[in-house]
Structure formats: structure tokens, C-alpha cells
Structure 1
Amino acid sequence: RAWLTRARESREAWQRPTELPGPLQLGEIVAWLGRRLPADAVISNGAGNYTLWVHRFYPYRGWGSQLAPTSGSMGYGLPAAIAAKLARPARPAVCFAGDGCFQMTCQELATAVQYGANVIVVVVNNGSYGSIRMHQDKHYPGRRYGTDLVNPDMVALARAYGAGAARVERTEQFAEAFEQALAADRPFLIEVLIDPAILRP
């Protein structure tokens, strides 16, 4: 029993959001979503370092509440969220995607709008392929190549597809944007801006 208590305390300590430089604390946002969403909410994601925050700080509480690739497939999150929403319309479906990950399948916003799959997409925008950049820095210091992104205006892009959208630059802005997304009768994208130097919790 003592060992189990220590193990649980260790896990709970690890799941407490970490504090990072800058005005946006991604760990706090993910933990807040864990408190705000019902246990049957579906959380999906693709591949990239942004998923470290989702897997560490979101408290999955039921079977079928996590949709994620086992093969590191970028772009998986949005189509998975749309499928989940169409299969179970009453369950909230929230997709996390990095900016590079999102652009692999962002055109599926048109599918979501067409079929009334009112998913919420949280795009973690750091202007780079963060996971690849991390490995370049680790294995080839000073030889970073091909990982910086010139992104479109994510909010304008989502609106062009017919979805709602909001941009969040500070932690305290997220709750209002998310409530707006939940109330919207259409798919909704929330772009959260994070410093590209922040690659892990």
C-alpha cells in the first residue's frame, strides 16, 4: 500500500502543469480542458512535440476518449476528430495539432463544415516542425535545416473554410475562446501561439 501511495503521488506530481517562459502556458490550458470537458470527450492529435503536453496533462477518463496515431502520422488529428464527431455527435471532439501537423490535412475543415461535424481544433503554432528541429539540435548541433515554417494566417484560413476561429496569445484568453467554440454551431479553430524555443513541458 505504501508503494502504491508513493507511485500515485509521483504520477500526480508529474501531471501538474510545468511553468514555461512566455505568456502562454500550454500545460495549464490542457489541464483546464481536463476539468472543463466531460469524461466522454474525444481528444485527438497527430504527431509532434506539442503532443507531449496533451498526453501528460490531459486526464483521459474513459475508453475511446483518446485518438492518436501509433506510427507518428502527422495530420491524423483532424480527420480522426471529424470521424469521432460524426459517429457520436453528442460527444465533444477536440483535435490538437501543431502548425505543421495541421497543414497536412487542414483541407478537411471543408469536410467538417460540409457534414456539420462541429469539431474544435486547437492549433499549437510555434512556426516550425518542432519535433524534427529538436532531433536536429540533439544530433547535429548548429545544423538546423528545413524546419522553419512560413504559415498562413490560421484564423483567416479557418474562416475561409466556413469555420469559426480565434487566436490566443496568453493563457487567460483561452477559456473565453473555448467557450465561444463550444457555443458555435460550426467547426471552430483556436490558434495558440507558443515560443519556438519551447520544445517540451
Structure 2
Amino acid sequence: MKEQTNLWEIFYKGLFEQNPIFRLALSLCPALAVTSTVVNALAMGLSVMFVITANNVVVSIFRRWVNPKVRVPVYITSIATIVTVVQLTLQAFFPVLFKELSIYLALIVVFAIILARAEVFAMKNTVIPSFFDGFGMGAGFTGAMVLIGAIRELFGSGTILGIPIMGDWYDPALIMVLPPGGFILIGLMIAAFNIMGEYQDKLKETKAAISSQDAIQRGEA
């Protein structure tokens, strides 16, 4: 039961506490470039989720045989191989999406969040925790991408997944599907998530202080 709780905590931290985009402000290039529609945002998010999870597993499996002096080239080689698989799969089955995302798919190889999880977590932990770490970070990245994409598409085009939502009366705010609008939106959302994070941290500190006082009072009694 304790192991399941730990795995859940490893997974959950990527959703909010260490969300790659909203809390760590990493890999903002695709968050700005490909989130003009929900479909593109979801495709990029799922691609990154697969790459970061698979790379974490690979790095965790081979960590004992990797010389620390060459660990970064090993990370890059592993990530590049997995990204190539993703590119070929999209090119074969989803050519339109591949054309939309092609240049940014190649850039996944050097995404800071993927390299960071390999170095900080996968290189120091076994396969199962590394899988949940990568999956959680990938899920947090995908969720952030889809949220940004939904807001930009809704206000910039009046649609969600290409389906009209606002109606003929709505005059789309073109800036939302342009880079400046995406930049402003991401900045506001990062600020909002940081405020919520600070509130949660203060709440945890308050609960810890109350628990500590209760423990002291029980000890005195």
C-alpha cells in the first residue's frame, strides 16, 4: 500500500506541483508554437509523453552500465531514437499532423524536461518509479498543452476541435492564434498556477504546524 502511495505521489507531482510548463516553465517553445489548435497541442503532448516515459525506462534499465562521463550523449542517443520512432509513426499514419508538427517533433530531442527527468530521476531510480515519473511529467505537459490549445482555439477561432462553439455572433480575437497571444496567455497561466502553488504550500505549512502542536500537547498530557 505504501509503495502504491509513493508511485501515485511520483505521478501526481508532474500534474501540478512540478508541471513542466506552468510550474517549471520548461519546453515553452512548443507550448507557444503548436497550441493554436487543440489537435496540434494534443498530438505534441502525447508525443512528448511517449518520449519522456520511454526514455526514463531506457535510462533506468541501463543506468548501471553508463559511465557518468558520457551519460548526456547516452541520453541524447536514447531520446533521438525514440523521437525517430514517433516521427515515422506520425508520418505513416497521420501525415497531416506530421506536416504540422514536423520541425517541432525534431526539437523534442533537446527538450529540457526530458533531459532533466533522465538526469534527476531515471538515472537514480528503478524502472517502475522512473516509468511513473515520466508518465506523470508527460501527462502534466499534455494537459497543459491541451488547456492552452483549447483557450487559444476557442477565443481565436470560436471553435474546439474544429467544431463551432461561439456561433456566428462571435468575432474571433485573431491575436489568440498568433504568437503574441499565446505568449501572453502562457504568462498569465504560469502566474495563476504559481499563486495556487504558493497557497497550497502555505496550507501544507499550516497543517504541519497544527499537527506539530497537537503532538506536543499529547506529549505533555
TM-score by length of 2: 0.25
Q: Which has the higher contact order (CA 8 A, sep 6+)?
A: 2
Higher fraction of strand: 1
- Return the structure number with greater helix share: 2
TM-score (norm 1): 0.27
